[in-house]
Amino acid sequence: MTLKMNQEFLLQLADLAMLKIAPEELDHYQKCMEQFLELVQSLEKIQTENVVPLYNLSREMIEQDSSSRHYRQDAIKNSISLIDVLKNAPEVKMNQFKVKALMEIGQENLHEGTT
């Protein structure tokens, strides 16, 4: 059975995943998604009613064994310096990460923002 994923939905997914798919790539990614859907189809027939999902084995172990549980002290400690943090940033302005404007505030000279 071939499973279908329409291109409009695929574009919505891409938007959620913060990706852009060029028009010439659409058919290719659509085919890939349909192949993935086919690959995972086999799970449908497995009876899973009342089965507790297994998300992370360690978390389950830690819940059972308090010696593995560790909470960091709520204390101030040295961290990486601002200079080191900004070293890898693609664009920096006034010791801050530079990004495009996040909202329009009606002033022509405010097209850039920082976080």
Nearest approach, Cβ of residue 54 and another protein (Å): 4
Q: Which DSSP string do the residues of 64-80 spell out, in sequence order?
A: H-GGG-----S------
Footprint of another protein (CB under 8 A): 10, 13-21, 29, 32-33, 35-36, 39-43, 46, 48, 51-59, 61-62, 65, 67-68, 70, 72, 80, 84-85, 87-91, 97, 99-102, 113, 115
Residue with smaller CB distance to another protein, 65 or 74? 65
Nearest approach, Cβ of residue 74 and another protein (Å): 14
Contact status, residue 12 vs residue 6, Cβ threshold 8 Å:
no
Could you tell me the strand order of the sheet in which 96-100 lies?
A: 92-93, 96-100, 112-114
